[in-house]
Amino acid sequence: LPAFPSPSPAFPSGSPAPAAKPITGPWPSAFPAKELCSNCGLCLSSVGVRHVKEACAFIGPGMSRAESLEHAVHGRSRRYDPSGEGDLSEAHFGVHEEIVYARGVGIDGAQWTGVTTAVALAWLEAGKVDAVVVAAGGAEGDGFAAPAPLLCRTAAEVLRGRRVKPSLCPSLAVLDEVAADEGIKRLLFCGVGCAVQALRSVGARDGQTPEEALRLEELFVLGTHCVDNSPTPQRALAFVASLPSVGEARARDVLAYEFMADFRVHARVATAGGGEETVKDAYMTLPPSIGVPSIADSCYSCFDYTNGLADLVVGYMGAPFERDSEMTSAPLMVTVRNERGRRMLGHAVAAGRVEVLRRGGKGGVGLLSEGDRTKITAATFKKDSLVQTLTNPAYVAGDQGAPPLVGDILARLIARTLPRGMEFARYSIDYHYLRNLLFVEDRLGAERAAEHVPQYAKAIMARYEDEVRSVRGGGAP
């Protein structure tokens, strides 16, 4: 990637920075991060684009920059054993006070039980913030494939984010609207890790905090776990069309989908009668050829699965998910990083919008955690389609998945061997970071990749050194 020049000189602290020209060219070629651009929206805002060199998660030191911001955001940095042999709980889950299992209350039609939406609603309704930024679907809360940023001043507007899967969404494009509205002094930003990283760096080149640069009195950040998003709505539609239970005929009726710990993709599909049904297809029934093109290059370059710079984070990877569990009722995993996050969750619970089901301590101690991830992580990494594509010249991804009956049996067998709860979360993090390491080494070269990958990710990957070396060399360990 080219080094990106600063658009204009730094301005002294306290002065309003001049606006720069937002990027209007085609995505991603006209954007500074090129193919790695996650379309976070910073470059679409005249307030934001000025900071792209210091803020973009895919330029210069890239994802490793976030680790150096943790002290300013949370009051301290992550604590972990850099050798990878000791405590890795904050290497995996970031700075945190506690991790809990929780459920949203009364948020109809949410992607899950609506914890993120519930917290945002409670915070807005209590008058703690003047506005909330969400990735919004259509007026009916649909639109999983093409969410758009929305600066919300009302509960009805916040609800438009309830069914949106974490996605590539230019959330930071609303920064101009935020800066222009003098009535917005306290803002809640809801978003994915790469957008949060960019937001937390706005103003840095001028020696300002994001709050100063955006003339805010308070900034709250409510994040989601995020991994493996589609690069475009078209690719997302092609992916859901490849699900045997959906097909092309019903792809546009899909309201929500997710990759679940039972080794199945769960998709909620609108029915002709105005209701919806959930269909579940084993991963192996998908054609292997759909996998690699369904994920954006930014997400193959991402090491911020757990959204380390948000105050409060909602996800599902460490929550229990049994064979008969459903997205709409299963618990979610909520990570409280700091005092702002504690206040937000505490208020949502007091307001009756969120129910905490179980509290865990550091690294989720006290929450469900069963199995040992190490061997299954190494096996998943070696068999991954992208890893095969990058390391095995003879590999051809097939265009036929397993028959549904075979896929179902395989999914049941594999699900039984997988770790559960927090250990499943560690498995998922480890595997994605290993896969992404190979990708960034391929795209950026070894030296730039070493700069891009955060130290905590290197500590996590240390135990798989032999496997990585072997896969790089094209052989089996």
| 313 near ligand SF4, judged by CB under 6 A | no
Q: Which two tokens stand for residue 365?
A: 């101690």
Residue nearer to ligand SF4 on the CB measure, 39 or 369? 39
- The region of 223-231, 234-242, 370-378, 452-460 touching ligand SF4 under the rule CB under 6 A is 223-231
Nearer to ligand SF4, 408 or 439 (CB): 439
The reply on whether position 194 binds ligand SF4 by CB under 6 A is yes
**DSSP 8-state secondary structure symbol assigned to residue 48:** H
Give me the least distance between CB of 226 and ligand SF4, in Å please.
Answer: 3
Query: For ligand SF4, which stretch binds (CB under 6 A), given 25-33, 177-185, 282-290, 370-378?
Result: 25-33
* Near ligand SF4 by CB under 6 A: residue from 54, 98, 206, 304: 304
Distance CA(257)–CA(271), nearest Å, equals: 15
Task: Pull the structure tokens for residue 68.
Answer: 């150096």
The one-letter amino acid at 269 = V
Among 1, 17, 43, 261, binds ligand SF4 (CB under 6 A): 43
CA–CA distance, 320 with 338 (Å, rounded to integer): 24
Of 298, 369, 377, 436, the one binding ligand SF4 (CB under 6 A) is 298
The least CB distance from residue 206 to ligand SF4, in Å, is 17
Q: What is the C-alpha end-to-end distance of the chain, expressed in Å?
A: 32
Stretch touching ligand SF4 by CB under 6 A, among 79-87, 108-116, 294-302, 378-386? 294-302
Q: Compare residues 304 and 384 and give the one whose CB is closer to ligand SF4.
A: 304
Strand partners, 358: 101
Stretches 32-40, 69-77, 278-286, 408-416: which one binds ligand SF4 (CB under 6 A)?
Answer: 32-40
Compare residues 192 and 336 and give the one whose CB is closer to ligand SF4: 192
Dist CA 355 CA 373 (whole Å): 29
Q: Take residue 359 and report the two structure tokens written for it.
A: 């509290």
Question: Binding to ligand SF4 (CB under 6 A): which residues in 102-131?
Answer: none
- Nearest approach, Cβ of residue 295 and ligand SF4 (Å): 8
223 vs 288 by CB, closer to ligand SF4: 223
- Determine the Cα–Cα distance for residues 49 and 30; give it in Å rounded to an integer: 13
Longest CA span, the chain? 65
Q: In angstroms, give the least distance from the CB of 416 to ligand SF4.
A: 28
Dihedral Cα 385, 146, 133, 164, nearest 10 deg: -70
Q: How far is the CB of 169 from ligand SF4 (least distance, A)?
A: 8
**Residue 198 engages ligand SF4 in binding (rule: CB under 6 A):** yes
- 232-261 residues in contact with ligand SF4 (CB under 6 A) are none
CB proximity list for 155: less than 8 A, separation 6 or greater: 121, 124, 125
227 contributes a contact to ligand SF4 by CB under 6 A: yes
Tell the residue number behind the tokens 């070493």, with chain if given: 450
Q: What is the DSSP letter of 84?
A: S
Please report whether residue 213 would count as binding ligand SF4 according to CB under 6 A: no
Rule CB under 6 A: choose which of 1, 17, 20, 40 binds ligand SF4: 40
Interface positions, 362-391, toward ligand SF4 (CB under 6 A)? none
Applying CB under 6 A, among 17, 52, 131, 471 the residue interacting with ligand SF4 is 52
Q: Which stretch binds ligand SF4 (CB under 6 A): 37-45, 203-211, 250-258, 412-420?
A: 37-45
Q: Is 192 in the site for ligand SF4 (CB under 6 A)?
A: yes
Shortest spacing between CB 43 and ligand SF4, in angstroms: 3
- Decide if residue 33 touches ligand SF4 (CB under 6 A): yes
Name which of 141 and 193 has its Cβ closer to ligand SF4.
Answer: 193
When asked if residue 56 is in the footprint of ligand SF4 (CB under 6 A), the reply is yes
In which region does residue 242 sit, left (phi positive, over 0), alpha (psi from -120 to 50) or beta (all else)? alpha
**According to CB under 6 A, which one of 38, 113, 294, 328 is a site residue for ligand SF4?**
38
Q: Among 61, 22, 28, 24, which residue's Cα sits nearest to residue 42?
A: 22
* Residue-wise burial string across 132-161, b where 16 or more C-beta atoms lie within 10 A, e elsewhere: bbbbbbeeebbbbbbbbbbbbeeeebbbbb
121: Cβ–Cβ under 8 A, 6 or more apart, which residues? 107, 155, 158, 159, 353
Torsion of CA 233, 235, 236, 241, to 10 degrees: 130
**Contacts to ligand SF4 from residues 422-461, by CB under 6 A:** none
Whether 202 contacts 214, CB under 8 Å: yes
- Looking at beta carbons only, is 58 or 283 nearer to ligand SF4? 58
Both tokens of 207, joined, read 């020696």
Backbone angles phi, psi at 313, to 5 degrees: -130, 135
31 binds ligand SF4 (CB under 6 A): yes
Cα dihedral: 184, 185, 191, 195 (round 10):
100
Strands 354-360 and 332-336, by their bridges, are unpaired
Q: Report the C-alpha gap between 343 and 341 in whole angstroms.
A: 5
37 binds ligand SF4 (CB under 6 A): yes
What is the binding site for ligand SF4 (CB under 6 A)? 31-33, 37-40, 42-43, 52, 56, 58, 166, 168, 192-194, 198, 226-227, 229, 298-299, 302, 304
